[in-house]
Structure 1
Amino acid sequence: MAALMLLLALVACMRGPMVAAPAGPPQPPVTGPGGPPPGGSPPPGAGGPVKVAVLLPLSGANAELGKAMLEAAQMALFTTGNDRLTLVPRDTTGTPDGAAGAARAALADGAQLILGPLLAAEVDAVKPVAGEAKINVIAFSTATQLAGDNVFLMGFLPRQEVVREAAFARESGLSRFAVLAPNSEYGRLMTDALRETASQAGATVVKAETFDSRSSDVGPAIQRLAGNTASAAPGTSPEPDAAPAPGPTQRVSFDALLLPEGGDQLKQIARRLKTAGIGSPQVRLLGSGLWDDASVSSEPALVGGWFAASPPDARREFQSRFQSTYGHAPPRLASLAFDAAALAAVLAKAGGPAPFSHDAILNPSGFTGVDGLFRFTPQGLVQRGLAVLEVQPQGPVVVSPAPRDFRDLVY
C-alpha cells in the first residue's frame, strides 16, 4: 500500500491527479501467479533503470492515433518525474506481424512490461511472445477473449457502460426497456448486456430492434419499435427518409431506450425517433461510450439522454494539458495510454524484484487516473468506476457520480 500511495504525486500539477484508490475492507489474497518466473528478463536492481515497452501503430492506417497515444504516455512519464522508468516505443505498423516483431525487439532491449498494443489481432500476436518471456501485457484492446494469463485489457468495455446506466435507470424508476442497436457484434453485445442487467434488476426488455449501420434507412426499425408497421400503402415500401407515422403523442410500451450508436448516424436516428414520438420526456434515451463526444450536445433530440462514462473533470484537465503541451486535442483513447504509463511509473517506483508482477497489477483497491477509478480482475479485464451523464445543450452533466472506491461499486 505504501507503494501505491506514490500515485498521489503522479499529476500534482493537474487538478485531476492519479491517486491510489481508498483501501477497501480486507479481501482474500489474489490467487494468480506472482512475479515473472525464472527465464524472463532480469529484474532491475535497486535504483536501476526500468524499461517499459509501448507498442503502438506509429505508421499505417492508425498512425495518427498511435502517435497521439505515445504522446500521452510520454506526458505521463514527464509528469511523474520518475527517473528510473524509461519508455521503449516500438511501431507495430498496425499489423499482427508488426506487433509481434515490435514485442520481440522491445523484450530484447530489456523491457519488463508491455503497454499496448491497440488492436485485437495485434494483442493476439503479442500474447505468446510476451508469455514466452514471462512478461505481462497491459493492452488497449477491448477484445475480452484475449484477456487472462499475462494479458490485462485497459480498453473501455461496452458491457460495463450498459450495466452502469441501466442500473441507474432502474434506480430512477424505469422498468420497461427497449433497444435499437446496429446489427453487429457490438450491437448484440450491448443488447445481451441490457437483457442480463434488466433481468437482474427486476426490469424487462420489451422490445429489441436492429438496423444495418451501413445504411441510412432506419425507418423500418423505428416503425417496428413504435408498433407501426403498416404506415405504407399495400404493396409499397416506406420512403427511406420518410418520418414514421406516429406523432408526438404516440404511446409506446417502454420507458427507456438503449441506442448504442454514435456520430452523425446517432443524431439522425435520434431525430427520427423524436418525430415518431420516442424521446424525452416520455422515453429516456440511454447511450453508450459512443455518446462520449462533445458534438452530442449539439443535437436537441438527444438532450435528456443518459450515458455512462468516465468522470469528466479529471479528463478535462488531461485534455487541456495535452492541448497546451502538443498543440492539438487528444483523441479519446489517448487517456488510456496516459493512465497505463502512469500506472507503470507508480509500480516501478514501488521497487522490488518484480514491480510488474500479477500481484502488483491486481491490487484489489485499484487506482484512480484521468479516466477515474479502475482495477484489473484476475481474469485480466479492467473494472471501472463510471459516472452517469445527462446530455444538455451546454454539455453533459453528471447525474450520478462515479464511485469513490470499489466498496461503493454496486453495479
Structure 2
Amino acid sequence: MLAVLSTPRKLLRKAAVIAGIMGLSACDPSMMAAPGGGSGPNINTNAPVPVALLIPRSDTGAGGLAASLENAARLALASLDGVQIDLRVYDTGGDAQRAAVQAETAVAEGAQIILGPLFGEAANAAGVAVADNGINVLSFSNNPSIAGGNVFILGPTFRNTANRLLGYSSRQGRNSVVIVHPQNVEGEFGKAAIQTAASQNGVRVAGIESFPFSQEGVTSAIPRIRSRIESTGADSVFLTSNTAGALPMLLQLMPEGGVNPATTQYLGLARWDVPTQILSMPGAQGGYFTLADTASKSAFDSRYRAQFGKDPHPLAGLAFDGIAAIGALVRQGRSDALSARALTQNSGFQGANGVFRIRPDGTNERGLAIATVRNNQVTILDPAPSGFGGAGF
C-alpha cells in the first residue's frame, strides 16, 4: 500500500486542499447577471485590447501557482501573431472580497475582459462585481456551480471527463456502471457528473456506493462494492477518487476483495499516471482514465521550460488558453470578439493542452485522450480529438 495513504489524517489533509481549489461559493452569478452572459464591450481590434489577469500573487499558499499562471499568459502573448493585448495584472490575494474590488478596479481602468481569478468563490465574486458592466470573466476554476451569466470556467470539469470515458466505454460494449465515491464535496460533484454522462451515453447506473472519507471507510466499502456489482450485473465500476485521496486504496483493495479487473471495467475520473506507483496497482491494470492531448501538452511544457527555466504548474495552461482564445477572436476582426456569443463559438480554440471550447452555460469541453495501464505503463487507447464533431465529443 502506498505511503501517501499511511494515515487517514494525511488523506483528509490532502482532500482539504483539493476542496479549497474547487472553491465552492455561496452566491451564483448566473442568477445575478444576464442569462446569456455579459454582452461584452465593442472593441477596436486594430488597437491593444486591455485584458485584466486576476491572480492570487500574495496568497502564501498559491503564490507559486499565480506566478506560473502569469508566465503562461505572457507566453501566450508571444504567440498571437500581430494581435495586440495589453495585459494588466491584479492581485486578489486569494480572497473573494478583494477579487471583487480588483475586478471593479480593472474595469474602471479600462479592462474589457477578465482572465481569472483562480478560486471559485473569488471568480464568483468578480463576476457579480462586473456583471452590470457587461464584462465577461474567464475563470481558472473548475467548479461548475459558479458557471453561467458572465462567468465562464476554463478548468477541466468532471462532466467533460465522465462524458468522454462513458462514451468510449459504451462503444466497447460496456453499458452498466456502479459509481463509487467518498462522502465529501468532491465526491458528490463527481457522482453527479457521472450520472449525467451516463444518461447522455445510454449507460445504466446500476448502483452507487459511497464511503466515509477515511481509511476505515474505504476498507468497509469494499464488500458492499463487490456485492452491488454482483447483484446488479454491472460490467464496470467508476471511481471518482484521485491519487491524493482514496484511489490508491481502492485500486489495491477492490481486486483483493473480489472485484476482478479482468471482468469488471475500472474507470477513473482522475488521472492515474501520477504518482507512478499507481501504475503497478492491480486495479489500475486495464482501467480507463483520461489525459490531455499529449502532443500539445508536451509542446507547451517545452516552450515554458525554454522561456522560464522550470516546469509549469499543472494548471498554468489555463492562462495560456484564456489568452489564446481572446487572441483568436480578436484576430477575426470582430468588434464583438469579447461577447458571450463569440467566446462560445462552436469551433473552439487550440490551447496548451489541446482543443477546447467554452459552452454557453459557462462550462467547457476539452479534447481528451483515453488512456489505460498495460504492464505497469500508460498506453493511449484513443487519442485526443484534434477538432469538434468526432467520437471524442
Q: In proportion to residue count, which structure has more helix?
A: 2
Aligned pair partner of 1:386 in 351, 363, 368: 368
Matching residue within 372, 391, 395 for 2:354: 372
CA contact (8 A) 2:372 2:380 kept: yes
Alignment of 1:6-405 (within 5 A): 32=36, 35-36=39-40, 44-45=43-44, 47-60=46-59, 61-82=61-82, 84-199=84-199, 201-215=201-215, 217-227=217-227, 253-264=233-244, 265-291=246-272, 293=274, 295=276, 298-301=279-282, 302-392=284-374, 395-405=377-387
1:215 shift after superposition: 4.1
More deviation in 189-198 or 149-158?
189-198
Change (3 A) 1:367 1:179: same
Q: Give per-residue Cα distances to partners, 1:294-332, cap 9 Å, x unaligned.
A: 536543321321113322221122122222322322222
Distance of 1:194 and 1:89 partners within structure 2: 37
Structure 1, 218-227 or 72-81: larger mean CA deviation: 72-81
Q: Is the 8 A contact 1:54 1:114 kept in 2?
A: yes
* 2:190 partner amino acid: M
Amino acid at match of 2:251: A
In structure 2, what is the Cα distance between the partners aligned to 1:292 and 1:113? 36
Gaps of 5+ in 2: 1-34
Specify whether residues 127 and 396 from structure 1 end up closer, same or farther in structure 2 by C-alpha distance, changes over 3 A only: same
Preserved contact between residue 178 and residue 238 of structure 2 (Cα < 8 Å): yes
Contact 2:166 2:203 in 1 (8 A): no
Cα distance, 1:217 vs. partner?
4.3
Q: Aligned pair count?
A: 355
Q: Distance in 2 between matches of 1:389 and 1:77?
A: 32
Structure 1: stretches of 5+ with no match in the other structure: 1-30, 38-42, 229-249
Would the alpha carbon gap of residues 377 and 195 (structure 1) be closer, same or farther in structure 2, given more than 3 Å must change? closer
**Take 1:380 and 1:62, find their aligned partners in 2: how far apart are those partners?**
24
Q: Sequence identity, in percent?
A: 30
Say if 1:297 and 1:303, in contact at 8 Å, map to a contact too.
no
**Counterpart residue number, 1:406:** 388
Report Cα offsets for 1:221-275 as digits up to 9, x if no partner: 01211239xxxxxxxxxxxxxxxxxxxxx99943311111112532222111121
Contact 1:72 / 1:335 at 8 angstroms: preserved in 2? yes
d(CA) in 2 for partners of 1:198, 1:83: 42
In structure 2, relative to structure 1, the CA distance for the partners of 1:218 and 1:395 (3 Å cut) is: same
Alpha carbons 1:180, 1:210 under 8 Å: kept: yes
Scaled by the length of structure 2, what TM-score is found? 0.81
Q: Is the 8 A contact 2:96 2:121 kept in 1?
A: yes
**Could you tell which deviates more after superposition, 336-345 or 299-308?**
299-308
Q: 1:363 to 1:158 in 2, by over 3 A?
A: same
Is 2:38–2:149's contact at 8 Å kept on the other side of the alignment?
no
SS in structure 1 at match of 2:79: helix
Alpha-carbon distance between aligned partners in 2 of 1:105 and 1:204, rounded to the nearest angstrom: 49
CA distance 1:292–1:346, shift in 2 (3 Å): farther
The range that moved more, 160-169 or 362-371, is 362-371
> Cα 1:214–1:328, aligned 2, differ >3 Å: closer, same or farther?
farther
Who wins on radius of gyration, i.e. which is larger?
A: 1
> SS of 1:220's equivalent?
helix
Q: State which drifts further: 67-76 or 194-203.
A: 194-203
Amino acid at match of 2:272: W
Partner SS for 1:52? strand
Q: Who is 2:31 aligned against? A: none
Alpha-carbon spacing, 1:167–1:36, altered in 2? closer, same or farther (3 Å): closer
What do the CA deviations read for 1:144-164 (whole angstroms, capped 9, x no partner)?
A: 232222221111110121121
Q: Supply the distance in 2 between the matched residues of 1:83 and 1:98 (Cα, whole angstroms).
A: 30
Contact kept, 8 Å, 1:176 with 1:256, in 2: the verdict is yes
Cα distance in 2 between the residues matched to 1:283 and 1:308: 18
Give the Cα–Cα distance (whole angstroms) in 2 for the partners of residues 200 and 354 of structure 1: 33
The 1:52–1:298 alpha-carbon spacing in structure 2 relative to 1, beyond 3 Å, is same
Q: Give the SS at the match of 1:397.
A: strand
CA contact (8 A) 1:113 1:137 kept: yes
**Local SS of the residue matching 1:187:** helix
- CA distance in 2: counterparts of 1:182 and 1:255, whole angstroms: 21
Question: Matched residues in 1 for 2:72 and 2:356: separation?
Answer: 18
Is the alpha carbon distance of 1:348 and 1:292 closer, same or farther for their aligned partners in structure 2, counting shifts above 3 Å?
Answer: farther
CA distance in structure 2 between the partners assigned to 1:201 and 1:44 by the alignment: 41
Report the AA paired with residue 53 of structure 2: V
Tell me the SS of whatever aligns to 1:80: coil
